[in-house]
Structure formats: structure tokens, C-alpha cells
Amino acid sequence: MSASSWDALVIGAGLGGLVAGATLARQGWKVVVLEAAGHSGGTASTFRRGDYRFPRGPLGFSSPATVKEIWEGLCGMPLETQRVSYLLNAFGREIALSSPLSQLEEILHEAFPGESEVIREFFSSVRTVSGALREPQQNEARTLAENAFLTSARDFLKRLGAGEQLRRILGSQGCREPYSSVALLAAMWDLLCEQGIHYPTCGLDRLCEGLIETVRSGSPGGHLMTNNRVIGISVEGGRVVGVELENGDRLRASTVICNADIRRTYLEMLPKNEVPALWLQAVASIPLSSSVFQVAVGLNASLADLSIFRHSSRVIFCLGEWGDPADGGIGPLIAPLKPSSEVELCLFSRDEPNAAPPGGAVLVIRTSSTWKDFQWYRPEPQRRKPGYLRFKMILARMLRAAASRFIPGLEEAEVSLDASTPLTFADLAGRSEGAVAGWSWDFRESHPGWLDLIRTPIGGLYMCGHQAYTSMLKGGVPSAMLSGREAARAAMRGDPPLLDPPFDAPT
Ligand SMILES: Cc1cc2nc3c(=O)[nH]c(=O)nc-3n(C[C@H](O)[C@H](O)[C@H](O)COP(=O)(O)OP(=O)(O)OC[C@H]3O[C@@H](n4cnc5c(N)ncnc54)[C@H](O)[C@@H]3O)c2cc1C
């Protein structure tokens, strides 16, 4: 392969990088997508354990119209999706969370008859704010949306007079204390109830394969090179000139689109003397979202009672008080698990039938977790201290025991089990602090708006991926895809570098 034969290099074959590569290839650019891992699709892919396939990341996506529009435009065929639904099982109630807003309002009026006025006012605000977020170009809507970013969802619900249970349901779409801004919360209700969370009927891996085919089929044709980690981005006189691979090879191109983690790109891959100090400071200070602890279980479906999933493939519950296993408790919890932890169960093989062999099923059990919970076990990248495996298996068994309350027979039915921690997402998916959902969603530290970081201070270098937006207003998968398209368009227009960061580093 000639070292200077490329119009553009794309670093990373996540959805962001694949959409960027496919967009350029469709326009006749000669493009190569360089992927560190041995597989493409980044976190939006599955991995095999025996006869079962487990998801690395997304269990679905929001903003289906955006995903379809981009994918169909690039792949030239229809993308069928199916809507998935969520059941909240908490506070002694079952609530069909992903019902259309008007229906959900009725369900909640019945469940909380004394708080009807709070429910009515809350959903009226959700409709107004989510409408304003969709029309940010209008002055009135912009002001409303800006205020919503500056208002804590918890304070807002307290002011409305919501009792604790209702506050937690309305404020987190689950059973946690509210933590985001009103803007983000309104967007999430709109996505969950009105637009819906969807899953591609062709499967997650096929979603990525379609994009790879487009990269390859462009004229003159592009390439995907897996097992090729980029360790440096080369810059001369403020312009990108190529990349350096871990194996020592150098590829040259005057356009580079980077789908890697934003912190790692600025702080590790770019030459420090080429990046303005303000940018380095701003990127280093980006507050990241938390991570997850995820357990995937391959089951013999005939031995487990999966009837909890008869109406919804997702169930959300609160871990609850620890207690005597003989009374249905799961024994004393150890950090990061706590009674208030929210747990999501997903019967993944319902949406992705090929994930399990005939007679089998795949269950995913997930709870929020932070980098600090596991950091101690990682003395350096890719290494673990002794005890890590034991610790994660203890946690995995606790979550499995908690899930057994809803799925009798789960333990006996288990054929294969895999557990992922924030360290997994840091080392295998390249994510700083194992963050799973971009910038922090926590009201106290989140960015009060929706900016993009596609342009960089380096000429010809553009960023893509879910972190390229300061808020996850559209959801992870659509944000990654949208950013890939926008980065490719910026590259084709030759958008100039952005000398100052579009956001301030906290002082
Ligand atoms: C556990 C988990 C659960 C999630 N659940 C959801 C969900 O339910 N819904 C949702 O919408 N989103 C979810 N997300 C977010 C999801 O990952 C994104 O939505 C989307 O798939 C991210 O795509 P991306 O292109 O931004 O990045 P990634 O998927 O992270 O892809 C980046 C790619 O770049 C590669 N790379 C990184 N550095 C280098 C380098 N130096 N050289 C070469 N290659 C490199 C990586 O190996 C990777 O393949 C989840 C993420 C995780 C981790």
C-alpha cells in the first residue's frame, strides 16, 4: 500500500468512523479506516462466548429516524427497526415506562392519584422543553431550552411538590434520584416515549457491515484495516499530514477524521506543541459520564422462567435492601452495588434472535458504575492486579442473584457468563475512565448546551463519535452517526481549524 495514496484516513471503526468513511467513499474519496481492535463496529457490535453472542455496548438506539436516514442514505437499502419497551418494577409497582407520553400520564395518575397535578405540570413542561430543543433557532425556544439546561431536574420536581417515589420515577426514568438537567430529562422522555428506543431487525453487527460495504464499494474503493492502532497524529505547520501506527508504519493524508476517545486524541495522540494550551486544558477538563458494570448470561431457556419479559424485553428495578438470602435477599452488598442501585435486565436474544443457539437465550444485566470503583485494580493500561477477576465475579453473582428474583431458575439455566467493568471499556473500547455515554449527564458538572467538537485546532483534522457533542440529546448511537456524517461533510468543505475551544475549561 503506497504511503501517500489516501485522500483521507479515519481513525476508529466505531459507528462514527464508519459513517465518516462511508460518506467520503460515496463521494469518491479514497479512504482507509484504521481500527485498533480485531473487529469493527466499536462498541456497537457483539462478541462470541461459546454458542452465544453478547453485546459490547448498545442494547438499542433512540432517534430512529436519524439512524435510518443516515444508514439508508449510505447503504442504499431499507433499515427495518423494531421498537423495544421498558417495564419499571419498583416501589411495589409495575409501570410500562415507554408508553406514549399521554398514556404514561394516565398510568401515573392511577398509580399516584394524590399527585395528579404534579404529573400534569411535569409532562406539560417535558412537552414544552423537548419542543424547544427541536427548534433552537427560534429565539423564544432557545431561551426556554437554555433555562432548562440551567435547571436541576431534582430541584424542579421538588418545587412541583413530587413525593420521593414519583420524583425518582419522573426524574430518572427509573428508580434513581434525579441527577440531570431539566433539558436532558425532557429530551430523554421524548426519546423514550414518543420516538421510542429501537433495535435493528438485521442485528447490530449487520448495521456496521452495511457501512463497511459502502466504504469498500466506493469508487475508487476504500479499505478497512483492523488490528491497526494509531499511536500518533502527525502535524506540520498546524495542518494534519498523516498518522503513525503502533507497528511503526506511517500513512500520509491531508485529511484525518478521528473516532477515538477525545481525551486520548488531544492528550496522547497529537503532538503537544501543535495544540493550543487552551484546547489541551479544555479537553482535559471535560467531565465524563459514568460507566457500567455489565453481566451477560447465556441461558438454557427451558430451565429459566422468562415470563417477566412477556410484554417488554427490558425490566428496570432497584437493587433494594440487602438481606437474608433465605428471605429472597441477596446477602450483604459490596460497593459499587448499593440498595439504591438501579439495575436493567434485557432479554437481548428477544431483539437479536441469532445471539443464542436454538433453545437458548441471552440475558444482559447492567448497573451504573464508576471508574473509581475499579481503578485500584488497574496499575497500568491493559494490566490487572490479582483479585480483579474474583471481585468482578462476586459482583456478577450478586447481580445474577438479584435478577433471579424476577427470573426463577436463572442460576440453573446459566451456560455461559461474561462480566465487563469500566476497566473493560477503558482497555478494550479505548474509553477514558470507561465512560459509556459521552459527557457527564450530572447537572452539577454537565455542559449547559449542545455544541459540537467536530472541528479541531489542527487544519484537516476532524473529530467524530458520540463524544463529539456536549450533550446526548439524541442518544449515543444517533449522535455517533450524525457526527460521522458532519465530520465527513466538514472535511469535504475543507472547514478551517477552530483556534479556540467552543467551551470553557472550568476555572
Ligand atoms: C456498555 C455500553 C453501553 C452502551 N449502551 C448504549 C445504548 O444502549 N444506546 C446507545 O445509543 N448508545 C449506547 N452506548 C454508547 C455507544 O457506544 C455509542 O452510542 C456508539 O456506538 C459509539 O460509537 P462511537 O463511534 O462514538 O465510538 P466507539 O463505539 O467507542 O468506537 C470507537 C472505535 O475507535 C477505535 N479506536 C480507538 N482508539 C483508536 C486508535 N488509537 N487507533 C485505531 N482505532 C481506535 C476503537 O477500538 C473503537 O472501535 C453504550 C456504550 C457502552 C460502552
What is the share, in percent, of the chain residues with pLDDT greater than 70? 97
Residue whose cell numbers read 421510542: 196
208 and 146 part of one domain: no
- Nearest Cα neighbor of 276 from 457, 133, 402 is 457
Looking from the CA of residue 466, the nearest atom of ligand 1 is 26
Q: Within a domain: residue 334?
A: yes
Structural domain for 132, as ranges: 100-195
128 and 29 part of one domain: no
Residue 292 CB–ligand 1 contact under 6 Å: yes
* Residue 223, strand partner residues: 32
323 and 280 part of one domain: no
Q: Within a domain: residue 469?
A: yes
pLDDT digits (tens, 9 = 90+) for 448-505: 888 999 999 999 999 999 999 999 899 999 999 999 999 999 999 999 999 999 987 6
Q: For the domain that residue 17 is a member of, what is the CATH number?
A: 3.50.50.60
Asked if 192 contacts 210 with a C-beta cutoff of 8 angstroms, the reply is no
Residue 192 CB–ligand 1 contact under 6 Å: no
Q: Within a domain: residue 298?
A: yes
267 and 296 part of one domain: no
Q: Within a domain: residue 63?
A: no
Q: Within a domain: residue 93?
A: no
428 and 317 part of one domain: yes
Q: Within a domain: residue 186?
A: yes
Residue 25 CB–ligand 1 contact under 6 Å: no
Strands (E) located in 168-238: 197-200, 223-225, 230-236
pLDDT (0 to 100) of residue 333: 78
Residue 222 CB–ligand 1 contact under 6 Å: no
pLDDT (0 to 100) of residue 2: 44
| Distinct helix (H) and strand (E) counts, the chain | 17, 19
Give the pLDDT band of residue 506 (cuts 50, 70, 90): low
- Nearest Cα neighbor of 197 from 32, 62, 318 is 62
Q: How far is the CA of 272 from the centre of ligand 1 (A)?
A: 25
Name the H helices within 224-347. Answer: 262-264, 277-284
Cell of 2: 503506497
307 and 341 part of one domain: yes
pLDDT (0 to 100) of residue 279: 96
304 and 404 part of one domain: yes
The contacts of residue 291 (CB under 8 Å, 6+ apart) are 368, 369, 370, 371, 421, 422, 425, 431, 433, 434, 435, 436
37 and 111 part of one domain: no
Which mutation among 259, 344, 374, 463 tests ligand 1's pocket best, with the greatest number of atoms within 8 A of CB? Answer: 259
**Domain boundary residue, one of 399, 434, 469:** 434
Based on the structure, what is the number of domains in the chain?
3
**Domain boundary residue, one of 165, 195, 225:** 195
Q: Within a domain: residue 61?
A: no
Give the pLDDT band of residue 336 (cuts 50, 70, 90): confident
374 and 243 part of one domain: no
332 and 421 part of one domain: yes
Backbone conformation region of residue 475, classed left if phi is above 0, alpha if psi is from -120 to 50, else beta: left
303 and 401 part of one domain: yes
**Domain boundary residue, one of 172, 195, 218:** 195
386 and 297 part of one domain: yes
Q: How far is the CA of 406 from the centre of ligand 1 (A)?
A: 30
Q: Within a domain: residue 82?
A: no
Q: How far apart are CA 232 and CA 365, in angstroms?
A: 37
- The pTM is what? 0.96
Q: Which residue has the least CA distance to atom 37 on ligand 1?
A: 260
